Amino acid sequence: MNIRPHDLLWLHADATLLAIKESWVAQQWSPRQPVVVRRDVVQQGTVPIGVRGEARHQRAAGWVRIQDVARIDAPEDLVARAATHRFHALPTVQALHQLQQQRWSWQWGVTGSTGFALATSLPVLHVESDLDLLIRAPQPLNPDELTVWQQQLLQLPCRADTQIETPYGAFALNEWLRSGRVLLKTAHGPRLTDLPWTEEN
């Protein structure tokens, strides 16, 4: 089972969340809602996850057993739902449809509240929501094409940010285009680097 950061995981009905400290989770979460894979050092047989609460500030970190995972919604899988989704009139969902009109040389997807809404149909979006995007980049990408992507984002009906996912972590595209030096988010914590496709500086 290929599970990666930002994937949404649907769990079996009898699944248990492990190592959750926040008390609100017991009242608000059920296996009818997905959890999101977060970046952390993987422990054998488990997946690091985050739980989304009803309030914007309610986020909890924990773990689930791999055998409790029933289905995976990857960010790139959710994009295809934008055009026909019940939230298709909202700015972030319209923006996804716009980006789909152009062919890109990489896999890309949607995360954050828009991805969660597309996966669940829960009303977590509003007209001023930001759009969080993810580009899969197992190899270094063409800076010129990334510049075109960034210019396209400026034409969207909402604010949009892109994370570039490398084999060693993720970084903000706008940082990389600005200076070439980025804060790479890794399983062991963030590190400042100008070599985000290498394990060490």
The catalytic residues are: 130, 132
Sign (positive or negative) of CA dihedral 83, 93, 98, 101: negative
How many Å is the maximal CA-CA distance in the chain?
A: 48
H/E element, 52: strand 46-52
Euclidean distance between CA atoms 48 and 41, whole angstroms: 8
In degrees and rounded to multiples of 5, residue 57 shows phi and psi of: -80, -10
| SS percent in the chain: helix, strand, coil, step 5 | 25, 30, 45
| Residue 12 CB-density burial (10 A; 0-12 exposed, 13-18 middle, 19+ buried) | middle
Q: In terms of Cα–Cα distance, which of 167, 168, 195, 169 is closest to 181?
A: 195
Tokens found for residue 61 = 């970190």
Question: How much is the CA Rg of the chain, to the nearest whole Å?
Answer: 17
